[in-house]
Structure 1
Amino acid sequence: MKRLHVHLSVSDLDQSIAFYSGLFGSEPGVRKADYARWLIDEPAVNFAISDRACGEPGVSHLGIQAGDDDDLALIEERIAAASGPVENEGETTCCYARSRKSWTADPDGLRWEAFLTHGESETFGAEPDLSRLDESAAQSGGACCDSAA
């Protein structure tokens, strides 16, 4: 099953967990000191929050979680057809999960990931180097809050 992925940066993890647990009617399936994730079936969403991300609270990134290898291949084909920048991260550990993923950015610099999760991890993992995506967005106009603005 494919799921839309939403990852928000939050300023207070505990308050946000309480809010979203009420909103979704369930506690997060994964909860760590700096991260929480819900896998919601209706609508099919992988919703994550963390207080690790840089910057102000808000959308960290969006994505599409693949259900299997064929789903991931199709999503990656669509990313290529969208003609945005592509950063193939490959096998990685991120957000307490082991996954294979690729990244792109829309014309305004909003980051999207396509990923297939293979299992859990005890560590959050390292932040990927997505500077190439940021450079591409800056060339196309970028977001209004670019540091150069």
Structure 2
Amino acid sequence: MKRFHVHVVVPALEESVRFYTGLFGAEPTVLKDDYAKWMLDDPRVNFAISSRGGAVGVNHLGFQVDSDEELAELREHVVAASVKVADQPGAQCCYASSNKYWSQDPAGIAWETYHTLGDIPLFGADNRQASTATSEACCAPVTSIPAVIGRQVNCG
């Protein structure tokens, strides 16, 4: 079953955690010094916030799926619509290991579709291992998606 995903960059994490905890009526399921995530069932959404740079506001949208088979099925739909896809198997970011792909809508909004494989202790292992400049996004292969070049896209 798919879960809608929203990632928002916030200027003050503690203040935003307090706001979203009240809005959702639930504590975050993941809470770090620079990141928080709510896995809500009603509505079924994975809502994440971070204070790790980038422009304040919606960072990216996406879908979290329960299996690699479901991930492949959604990828086929996007490719059939002639949308460019940037695959990112085994991504290590946002305190999770995931198989994923990125696409973008015509307005340039990044879309992440992913299957989480497990938790990791770091926010951005991919970012630390990248061979490109520090503007390389955590999890997003920005060089493969032209509209997000130069934008920091956080994952998760």
Query: Normalized against structure 1, the TM-score is what?
Result: 0.86
What is the RMSD computed on CA atoms of the aligned residues?
1.5
- Equivalent in the alignment of 2:153: none
Assess if the C-alpha contact under 8 Å between 1:13 and 1:34 holds in 2. Answer: yes
Alpha-carbon offset, residue 78 of structure 1: 1.6
CA-to-aligned-CA distance 1:46-98 (integer Å, 9 cap, x gap): 0000011412x111000100111221111111221232221111111111011
Query: Aligned AA for 1:45?
Result: V
> Following superposition of structure 1 onto structure 2, how do residues 1-149 of structure 1 map, counting pairs within 5 Å?
1-55=1-55, 57-125=56-124, 126=127, 127=138, 128-135=140-147
Alpha-carbon offset, residue 131 of structure 1: 2.8
Q: Secondary structure at the match of 1:54?
A: coil
Alpha-carbon offset, residue 18 of structure 1: 0.3
- Equivalent in the alignment of 1:142: none
CA–CA separation in structure 2 for the residues paired with 1:44 and 1:68: 16
Structure 1: which 5+ runs fail to align? 139-149
Q: Select between 78-87 and 11-20 the one with higher mean Cα deviation.
A: 78-87
Structure having the higher Rg: 1
CA–CA separation in structure 2 for the residues paired with 1:53 and 1:115: 22
Query: Normalized against structure 2, the TM-score is what?
Result: 0.82
Percent identity between the two aligned chains: 46
